Amino acid sequence: MSATPVPFQLNFPEAQLVDLRERLARTRFPDPTPGEPWAYGTDVGYLRELVTYWHDHFDWRAQEAKLNAFAQFKVAVHGIDVHYLHVQGKGPNPQPLLLSHGWPGSVFEFVDIIPRLTDPARFGGDPADAFTVVAPSLPGFGLSFAPGQKRFKTEEMADCFADLMTDVLGYRTFAAQGGDVGSFITARLGHSHPEKLIGIHLNLLPVRRDPKALENPSDDERRFIDQLNHWIKEEMGYQWIQGTKPQTLAFGLTDSPAGLAAWIVEKFRKWSDCNGDVESVFTKDELLADITLYWLTATIGSSFWFYYARMHGGWPIPDKGVAVPTGYVQFPSEILTPPRSVAERMFTNIQRWTVMPHGGHFAALEQPEALAKEITEFFRPLR
């Protein structure tokens, strides 16, 4: 792969899809744990239903077509071939915008939000608010991976994306937005490459997660400490295994599509504003598009490296380390919702702080209209 972008289209070999269906047909399910469904992890009954749909009805080619409707490219950056969507804005002066997804997400999260950002007039907005969107697959995730390639930590992902936007694509400055892993990358960009950014927007705050760090807490900070303590005790198990023994877990999830689905769908249910019914927010096709991309690219193991690197290194964004204009939108079912006083320990130039009535962790997929509006309104005065 050269340093010149090469057009790309998804078209996985049919043999891989046949192999997937054969594996699904041979799935061995565990015995259900006594008690309420989902109380101890992914519900066996739901996963049986999802696997049956995956085998009998799911149309991967239709999902490929959704991504292939956007301009896609691959280019050599920092020693790997980076895959990205590059969708031109429809307006008088579109603002370049880098969108960074998270784990266990993918660029499929952006299918519905990209048109709202690139063509606002189509949705009743002002063409002057148009963005030109660049949405990469994170290094080690999905289509930005090849067997044997080096692994990237947050700092390296941020440097890679900064060079993609400026050196490869020629944007002197750009806007950046992200959630989950993408929020760490976006915040790191604001710290390490402020001269290249007009501002950053986040839908998760990558603040330090140490309950003991808050002395003499306010009521809002005490609430966050309680939330954080519960998170560490009850919800952080996936981070411990992904951050300490990622290779061991990778064997099972790379070999068993049902195991992969169980690992991922539990997060979509827990972290979304679905009141326990994951399909009240996401369709089976949306869930399986993301899961199948991880399966076909065999990248679940390499996607874990972010957690290992973070657990074995320093926090990637230092205190008071981000001075570029910063916007934040808080969705109520986000995994952690720090108060502004905690955020200001890291971000010194918060210019917009919005609390939403509905939504969760996968905001671009779950609430594309609301998130697109927030992104637009934050960056409008910064253009």
Active-site positions read 180, 307, 361
Q: What are the φ/ψ torsions at residue 255 (nearest 5 degrees)? A: -95, -30
Q: What are the φ/ψ torsions at residue 81 (nearest 5 degrees)? A: -95, 110
* DSSP symbol at 28: P
Between helix 14-25 and helix 284-297 the angle, nearest 10°, is: 110
* DSSP symbol at 373: H
Q: Which residue has the tokens 């519900």?
A: 43
CA nearest neighbour of 221 among 318, 344, 321: 344
C-alpha span between 265 and 260 (Å, rounded): 9
Contact of 291 with 264, CB cutoff 8 Å: yes
Task: Give Cβ neighbours of residue 270 (< 8 Å, ≥ 6 apart).
Answer: 235
C-alpha span between 35 and 130 (Å, rounded): 50
